[in-house]
Chains A and B, each alone.
Chain A
Amino acid sequence: MQISSKDLRPYLLVAPQTLTFLFALVLPIMAIVIISFWDFNGFTSVPGFTFNNYLGIFSSPVYLKTYLNTFKFAFLVWLVCVLISYPVAYYLAFRIKSSKWQTIWFLICTVPFLTSNIIRMISWIPFLGREGLINKALIGLHLTNQPVEMFLFSDFSVVLAMVHLYALFMVAPIFNSMMRIDRALISAAEDLGASSFNIQKRIIMPLAAPGVAIGTIFVVTLVMGEFATMRLMSGGKASSVGYLIKNQIDSLQYPMAAANAVVLLAITLLIVFGILRIVDIRKQI
């Protein structure tokens, strides 16, 4: 049978995406999965097939603690992001009536995100530190005699920096969901006797839920893979899986790092699938 150039056309059209996906996503992940079953002899990785890496992860209290710590930060950052972003999105979507000002305010929200992550993070240090602005202000106001230590290199500073880094990823999808809510629904609910609390609870929240879900996916996946913020803002005190993987790579323990990456990926995917099962986000895209 002869194949004409016409028959190949659709394959040529899908080739770029297919190749990109293949080389940038599928092959690297396959490589990681394969390497996660290799052995490590103290100096270098040895090809093979062993479950030791995974057994190590699931049996070691240190790993367990690191994973729990990662979950803790993911949850805290997510919670603070939702608490901050929902009102911000609500204000932008419902309280600001002109679409011009909505755009302007939304752009203002994005301004901090035009600077680099690292700079945004580091700029907290002179603010929060022992000799930082907050402590100077507190001492100046005689609210405390000596600098408060908990502001910097603590869980607090880690969460603060991460919320600062990722809040917009929550604001944007919630705002998007809220903008899709037909304003007549609010009038209808008012007409039927709903209080503003009930309008919020029964109408706006359920309809904005897909936005919260999308924001949650963004924030959770970003925080789960974090290592730089964790390292910098905790002063090396707290650890995360991402930071652990980075350390293992630095010491050439590739199989261990790969196994951790696979576990982390699996957990993150489970969370995402869990969210997608609860909330239907298809209409939002």
Chain B
Amino acid sequence: MTTDARKARVTGASSTIPATGSIQSALANAAAGVSLRQVTKKYGPVTAVETITLDIPAGYYCCLLGPSGCGKTTVLRMIAGHEEITSGDVFIGDRRVNDIPAAKRNTSMMFQSYALFPHMTVWQNIEFGLEMQKISDTERKARVGEMLELVGLSHLSNRKSSQLSGGQQQRIALARALVTRPQVLMLDEPLSALDENLRVQMRTELRRIQKQFGMTFVQVTHHTEEAFSLSDMVVVMSHGRLDQVATPSQMFKAPASQFVAKFMGDNNIFQGKVRHCIPEPASDVDVIELEVDGIGSLYSQGYAVPLGSTAACSVRPDLIRIEAIGAGSGQPNHRVNHVTARIVSIEMTGYVTRITLMEEKTGKDLLCKVRTTDWEADPYSEGQVVSLRWSEGDCVFLPH
């Protein structure tokens, strides 16, 4: 972590809340799960979301991750009720909400631009939802005050939203969304408008508030790191379909498809034909031998697929060992993957050094990441041809 980021974390933590009892229990009791059953969304002839089935348990922080246009925002808007559902069902808790308008779904949404009402003060912004619910004056006052305290901005209650910084606006937007005690909070790219330091700080704060109240958060993002750092559950989408639903650590270790592996960034992906499936008696996965054009056999772990089918395997850049040519010859285990490559560039980025290489026979680009201290202990130079090795256990088989 850089010094700035560390400072940001400390500041974030220092605004910890005097957790008032009523709000704590009200929010925790409100939390509900979300279920999508075969949900489809069509815009005329274009299918934006195709028969998605997804369960988000109550109290989970779920991130919908994917490139722009993958349908993630549409899913969020369908849950919130800002978008009609073409077919399928959406449940919040055990209530089917297809025909219930956004206002009555007990969800709240935090918008990408925050959508604070520019003509109202901070206090009026937060109070708005309570006024619409016709909640009494005294209770409104108490709840708005409580929320302002929660986000640590009580002193700004008379400001107009245009007089606030990005981070303050974001907190007010959060307070406004939470004050109605929603069962589910939707967040549409909530951090994308902030600069890097503030993003890390607000990320921590969002996660802290979510955990503290045990609420259900559903967030849309195109930022892998953000999704991984925040969520209990990551949902990767592409072309209106779900690619993978997993915990961040599962997804990091074992992406389910080439798309997910690519989207996480930096993974080295090799495409080829399945030649052998070797059952491993000791584990529930098989070792799969993939014939890659120009490179030869690569071994990875996965589940059996028909021989001869086109597939791929992926290896994380931090799991590849760089060795001098000939150093590892005479390997006892013939299943260790091995390619020869030339170092194209070396970038020291801080804790990690990124080494870009080009495979000697096919010209394929490869990436390695080595801890800077390790690299400096055993460096190679640009232009040098080296041997890259990784075990089949570190290599994930991707059937599609």
Binding site for B on A (CB under 8 A): 182, 184-185, 187-195, 198, 202-203, 206-207
**What distance in Å separates the Cβ of A278 from its nearest Cβ neighbour in chain B?**
13
- Assembled-state Cα–Cα distance A236/B122 (Å): 56
B80 close to A (CB within 8 Å): yes
- Assembled-state Cα–Cα distance A193/B106 (Å): 9
B52 close to A (CB within 8 Å): no
Pick from A184, A192, A206, A207: contact of B132, CB under 8 Å? A192
A185–B117 contact, CB under 8 A? yes
Which residues of B are found within 8 Å of A194, using beta-carbon distances? Answer: 103, 128, 132
**What distance in Å separates the Cβ of B110 from its nearest Cβ neighbour in chain A?**
9
- Assembled-state Cα–Cα distance A190/B102 (Å): 7
B128–A191 contact, CB under 8 A? no
**What distance in Å separates the Cβ of B355 from its nearest Cβ neighbour in chain A?**
44
Interchain residue pairs A-B with the least CB separation, the first 6: A192-B129, A193-B132, A184-B115, A188-B115, A193-B103, A184-B111
- Assembled-state Cα–Cα distance A198/B81 (Å): 18
A191–B82 contact, CB under 8 A? yes
Which residues of B are found within 8 Å of A188, using beta-carbon distances? Answer: 109, 111, 115, 117
Which residues of A are found within 8 Å of B176, using beta-carbon distances? Answer: 192
- Assembled-state Cα–Cα distance A191/B177 (Å): 9
Which residues of A are found within 8 Å of B180, using beta-carbon distances? Answer: 192-193
Closest to B106 in A: A193
Closest to B111 in A: A184
27 contacts between A and B (CB under 8 A): A182-B115, A184-B111, A184-B112, A185-B117, A185-B118, A187-B111, A188-B117, A189-B117, A190-B82, A191-B80, A191-B102, A191-B108, A191-B109, A192-B103, A192-B132, A192-B176, A193-B103, A193-B104, A193-B132, A193-B180, A194-B128, A194-B132, A195-B103, A202-B117, A203-B117, A206-B119, A207-B119
Closest to A198 in B: B132
A187–B115 contact, CB under 8 A? yes
A185–B132 contact, CB under 8 A? no
Which residues of A are found within 8 Å of B119, using beta-carbon distances? Answer: 206-207
- Given A192-B132, A193-B129, 4 other A-B residues pairs in contact with their CB atoms under 8 A: A185-B115, A188-B111, A190-B103, A191-B82
Contact with A along B98-130 (1 / 0, CB 8 A): 000111100111011101011100000000110
- Assembled-state Cα–Cα distance A190/B117 (Å): 13
B118–A207 contact, CB under 8 A? yes
**What distance in Å separates the Cβ of B119 from its nearest Cβ neighbour in chain A?**
5
B133 close to A (CB within 8 Å): yes
How many residues from B make CB contacts under 8 Å with A?
Answer: 23
B128–A189 contact, CB under 8 A? yes
- Assembled-state Cα–Cα distance A184/B102 (Å): 14
Which residues of A are found within 8 Å of B128, using beta-carbon distances? Answer: 189, 192, 194, 202
B109–A193 contact, CB under 8 A? no
- Assembled-state Cα–Cα distance A192/B140 (Å): 14
- Assembled-state Cα–Cα distance A52/B82 (Å): 68
A187–B129 contact, CB under 8 A? no
**What distance in Å separates the Cβ of B41 from its nearest Cβ neighbour in chain A?**
17
Closest to B127 in A: A192
Which residues of B are found within 8 Å of A189, using beta-carbon distances? Answer: 117, 128, 132
Which residues of B are found within 8 Å of A182, using beta-carbon distances? Answer: 113, 115
Which residues of A are found within 8 Å of B82, using beta-carbon distances? Answer: 187, 190-191
- Assembled-state Cα–Cα distance A192/B113 (Å): 16
Closest to A194 in B: B132
**What distance in Å separates the Cβ of A258 from its nearest Cβ neighbour in chain B?**
43
**What distance in Å separates the Cβ of A98 from its nearest Cβ neighbour in chain B?**
14
- Assembled-state Cα–Cα distance A198/B82 (Å): 17
Pick from A185, A191, A206, A207: contact of B103, CB under 8 Å? A191
- Assembled-state Cα–Cα distance A192/B102 (Å): 8
- Assembled-state Cα–Cα distance A191/B132 (Å): 10
Which residues of A are found within 8 Å of B133, using beta-carbon distances? Answer: 193
Closest to A209 in B: B119
Closest to B186 in A: A191
Which residues of B are found within 8 Å of A185, using beta-carbon distances? Answer: 115, 117-118
Which residues of A are found within 8 Å of B112, using beta-carbon distances? Answer: 184
- Assembled-state Cα–Cα distance A127/B25 (Å): 71
**What distance in Å separates the Cβ of A119 from its nearest Cβ neighbour in chain B?**
42
Which residues of B are found within 8 Å of A190, using beta-carbon distances? Answer: 82, 101-103
- Assembled-state Cα–Cα distance A65/B298 (Å): 99
- Assembled-state Cα–Cα distance A185/B119 (Å): 11
- Assembled-state Cα–Cα distance A187/B188 (Å): 12
**What distance in Å separates the Cβ of A162 from its nearest Cβ neighbour in chain B?**
31
**What distance in Å separates the Cβ of A221 from its nearest Cβ neighbour in chain B?**
26
Closest to A191 in B: B109
Which residues of B are found within 8 Å of A206, using beta-carbon distances? Answer: 119
- Assembled-state Cα–Cα distance A187/B109 (Å): 9
- Assembled-state Cα–Cα distance A198/B119 (Å): 15
Given A191-B108, A207-B119: A184 in contact with B113 (beta carbons within 8 A):
yes
Which residues of B are found within 8 Å of A191, using beta-carbon distances? Answer: 80-82, 102-103, 107-109
Which residues of A are found within 8 Å of B103, using beta-carbon distances? Answer: 190-195
Which residues of A are found within 8 Å of B108, using beta-carbon distances? Answer: 191-192
Which residues of A are found within 8 Å of B111, using beta-carbon distances? Answer: 184, 187-188
**What distance in Å separates the Cβ of B133 from its nearest Cβ neighbour in chain A?**
6
**What distance in Å separates the Cβ of B219 from its nearest Cβ neighbour in chain A?**
16
- Assembled-state Cα–Cα distance A185/B82 (Å): 13
Which residues of B are found within 8 Å of A187, using beta-carbon distances? Answer: 82, 102, 109, 111, 115
- Assembled-state Cα–Cα distance A192/B132 (Å): 7
**What distance in Å separates the Cβ of B140 from its nearest Cβ neighbour in chain A?**
13
**What distance in Å separates the Cβ of A113 from its nearest Cβ neighbour in chain B?**
31
Closest to A199 in B: B132
**What distance in Å separates the Cβ of B147 from its nearest Cβ neighbour in chain A?**
13
Closest to A181 in B: B118
- Assembled-state Cα–Cα distance A189/B128 (Å): 8
- Assembled-state Cα–Cα distance A202/B103 (Å): 16
Residues from 124 to 145 in B contacting A, C-beta threshold 8 Å: 128-129, 132-133
Which residues of B are found within 8 Å of A195, using beta-carbon distances? Answer: 103, 132
